[in-house]
Amino acid sequence: MKVFIAGGRGRVGSRLADTLEAKGIEAVPGGLEDGIDVLSGKGLAEALVGVDTIVNVLNTPRFDAEGAISFFEGAIDTLTAEGERAGVRHHIVLSIVGVGEGDASEIGYYLGKVAQEKAVRSASIPATIIRATQFQSYIPVLIDQHTVDGKVHAPRSYIQPVELDEVVDLLTEAVTTLEPGSEIEIAGPDRFFHDDLFRATLAHRGDRREVVTVEGQGPIEAMVPRGAHRTGVVRYPIPGIPTV
């Protein structure tokens, strides 16, 4: 089996490549530094020769709706066109739990992920969508994203961070055993309020930024799974945070 990982040198992609290779599965990394551009299609035809499955773990620094939508949707279109020519039979996409809902419904980046899901669902290559909650290792970045004028604005809504390796394991399962057409969500074992999690993480890191609680504008559970989902076993590395 040969797998093309779009974004294969990124945070998720590089761990997935190592995991697949350890199982004896050939993993071809596809990123800009490999000379592959998923938007223009440069280098894709050659990289996809003999590939059965594409795993799409691409990312963009564009957080505005226009930039994020054109990136995520454009990449699906190009990967589908080139993948179809190469005989790819399965396109697996990593998305985020809750995008398009509640507080997240107006966030430009999340609108890009919604467009990505919609595009791959209606594309000609059978698709699987894995939706993960926020990675535990990503929480400090998330805190920075919520910081305005030195203060961290944290919604009083739920968050259930997951360990990245457990997401990689589910992507690996999607590659090796899942039939195309699945949509699966994965979250960590514990559910917190954003503001409690942010305060504890900052205190643990000796970061004195103040956390300001803001009331959520949407459902309190918008960013956590509400139906059947996989639950990871790895706990958030800071003990003592109140769970809900």
Ligand X SMILES: NC(=O)c1ccc[n+]([C@@H]2O[C@H](COP(=O)([O-])OP(=O)(O)OC[C@H]3O[C@@H](n4cnc5c(N)ncnc54)[C@H](OP(=O)(O)O)[C@@H]3O)[C@@H](O)[C@H]2O)c1
CB of 50 to ligand X, least distance (A): 19
How far apart (Å, rounded) are the C-alpha atoms in residues 89 and 101? 30
Q: Given candidates 20, 94, 104, 120, which one binds ligand X under the rule CB under 6 A?
A: 94
Looking only at residues 209 through 228 of this chain, which bind ligand X when binding is defined by CB under 6 A?
Answer: none
Looking only at residues 154 through 193 of this chain, which bind ligand X when binding is defined by CB under 6 A?
Answer: none
What is the DSSP track for 184-236? EEEE-S--EEHHHHHHHHHHHTT---EEEEE--SS-TTTTS--SS-EE--PPP
- Please tell me whether residue 125 binds ligand X under the rule CB under 6 A: no
The position carrying tokens 């894995």 is: 130
Site track 15-34 with ligand X (rule: CB under 6 A), x = hit: ---------------xxxx-
What is the rounded end-to-end Cα distance, in angstroms, of the chain?
Answer: 42
- Please tell me whether residue 128 binds ligand X under the rule CB under 6 A: no
Q: Which residue is nearest to ligand X (CB)?
A: 10
- In terms of phi and psi (left: phi > 0; alpha: psi -120 to 50; beta: otherwise), the region of 120 is alpha
Q: What is the largest CA-CA distance in the chain?
A: 54
Q: Residue 163: name the closest of 236, 243, 230 by CA.
A: 236
- Please tell me whether residue 99 binds ligand X under the rule CB under 6 A: no
- Please tell me whether residue 100 binds ligand X under the rule CB under 6 A: no
Q: Which is nearer to ligand X, 32 or 203 (CB)?
A: 32
Q: Given candidates 39, 178, 184, 214, which one binds ligand X under the rule CB under 6 A?
A: 39
Report helix angle 11-22 to 164-176, nearest 10. Answer: 50
* Non-local CB neighbours of 61 within 8 Å, separated by 6+ positions: none
CB of 26 to ligand X, least distance (A): 18
Q: Given candidates 28, 48, 57, 120, which one binds ligand X under the rule CB under 6 A?
A: 57
CB of 218 to ligand X, least distance (A): 18
Binding residues for ligand X, per CB under 6 A?
7, 9-13, 30-33, 36-39, 57-60, 94, 96, 113, 132, 134-135, 138
